[in-house]
Amino acid sequence: MIKPHGSETLNPLFVYDVKQHHELQKEAEGLPSLLLNSAAAANAVMLGAGYFNPLTGYMNVADAMSVAKKLHTTSGLFWPVPIFNRTDDISAIKNAKRIALRDPNSEGNPVMAIQNIDAIEEISAEQLKAMTENIFTTSDAEHPGATTFSNLGKYAISGPIQVLNFSYFQQDFPDTFRTAVEIRNEIAERGWNKVVAFQTRNPMHRAHEELCRMAHETLKTDGILVHMLLGKLKPGDIPAPVRDAAIRKMVEVYFPPNTVMVTGYGFDMLYAGPREAVLHATFRQNAGCTHFVVGRDHAGVGDYYGAFDSQKIFEERVPPGALLIEIFRADHTAYSKKLNKVVMMRDVPDHSKEDFVILSGTKVRKMLSEGKDLPPEFSRPEVAKILMEYYQSQVAK
């Protein structure tokens, strides 16, 4: 199986030893505590699950600045985005060496992890602006990722962590949330060697389904990992339980058995375009995948990135050998009325826009809210039914 990024074996930061886990939970009760923001909590989940291998905890400002500008830490480890624990209030932890990190997304704010504090540093306005513009290519307040990143807090708390729980993800998504460790184990159990990963934060329509099939057949992989984001999105996006149900139905009906693993990971969407595409590839390698689909406007939002910037970055900014996972470069896919099948637009230069079945997100939402069926060329009827029930429930509220 493919090696994880930066080490020979995967080193998840979750404490699996029962005795040690219990002792740390008890210790945490007496430690100064910090209520994390959602981004830092998501980072803890990803560190605990092994997705952010070989990182051992949260970055300091020097490493974060180096990653933002050069895509590597000060020690030379390739990494695409800063992994921070930031806050505006350090009053409760100012002189502490070891602290309990509490979950902002679960009732009662249970302890997520224990952190050894290496440093508490104040981030200057200049440093924050430089990082934001390097990561997102903009500091525009209209960019949801740049705005979130800019407002996470002026203090960076760096140091290694020991993770004690995965927030709400295991409880809310018991059939879908999986750690990188669990995915690697299942890949081995299925006897797969070549695996292509598909990232999604949306339900999968016909174009997404066929893109997975194209990658699977072109690369001659043993299987497909459909890996959905289960964390926070921007307002208006479809909730994770609805996406989960729609994707599972599509796989159940339209893919042969032992072809697709449907799983999810606990992270908040960054909307960082090219940088996020590289992060996606990095943690899919940690999950045991050999290939990763990067499509048009991957991890983008609005018009902040060029259509294929998330593919170009792998050629322009990722040094040879920095990642072992290979990229499957995809174009926009849509149903061709001429050919009666889903195609990549680059493969049919003789087509005009009118030759494709294309619906905007606004049009799709309107049709579903009004109880109108989506064209079968655009969405499988079983998938559309699940989405229609969701949108009509929203109209009824």
On the question of pLDDT at 360 being above 90, the answer is no
pLDDT value at residue 394: 85
What pLDDT is attached to residue 361?
83
* Separation CA 284–CA 227 (nearest Å): 9
What is the band of 238 on the pLDDT scale with cuts at 50, 70, 90? confident
Please, which pLDDT band fits residue 47 given cuts at 50, 70 and 90?
A: very high
Q: Is the per-residue pLDDT at 233 higher than 80?
A: no
Mean confidence (pLDDT) of the chain: 96
Position 287 scores a pLDDT of 98
Report the C-alpha gap between 163 and 55 in whole angstroms.
13
- Distances in Å between the alpha carbon of 362 and those of 35, 41, 341, 365? 37, 32, 24, 5
The CA dihedral of 175, 179, 183, 185, to the nearest 10 degrees, is -110
pLDDT-based confidence at residue 235 (cuts at 50, 70, 90): confident
CATH topology of domain 18-167: Sulfate adenylyltransferase (3.10.400)
Q: Report the C-alpha gap between 195 and 187 in whole angstroms.
A: 8
What average pLDDT score do residues 197-203 get?
Answer: 93
Give residue-wise pLDDT tens across range 269-297.
999 999 999 999 999 999 999 999 999 99
Could you give the residue numbers annotated as active site?
Answer: 201-202
Tens of pLDDT, residue by residue over 125-184, are 999 999 999 999 999 999 999 999 999 999 999 999 999 999 999 999 999 999 999 999
Is the pLDDT at 240 greater than 90, yes or no? Answer: no
- Secondary structure E strands in 41-128: 57-58, 86-87, 98-102, 111-116, 119-122
Decide if pLDDT at 397 tops 80: no
Q: What is the structure's pLDDT at 2? A: 97
Short-list 295, 333, 101, 125, CA closest to 197: 295
Q: What span, in angstroms and rounded, lies between the C-alpha atoms of 17 and 375?
A: 52
Task: Assess whether pLDDT exceeds 80 at residue 186.
Answer: yes
Domain residue ranges in the chain: 18-167, 175-265+273-396
Closest CA to 298 of 325, 316, 318, 278: 278
User: What is the model's pLDDT at position 12?
Assistant: 98
Fold for the domain defined by 175-265+273-396:
Rossmann fold (3.40.50)
pLDDT in tens, 315-342: 999 999 999 999 999 999 999 999 999 9
Q: Which residues of 174-209 are buried (b: 16+ CB within 10 A; e: fewer)?
A: eebbbbbbebbebbeeeebebbbbbbbbebbbbbbb
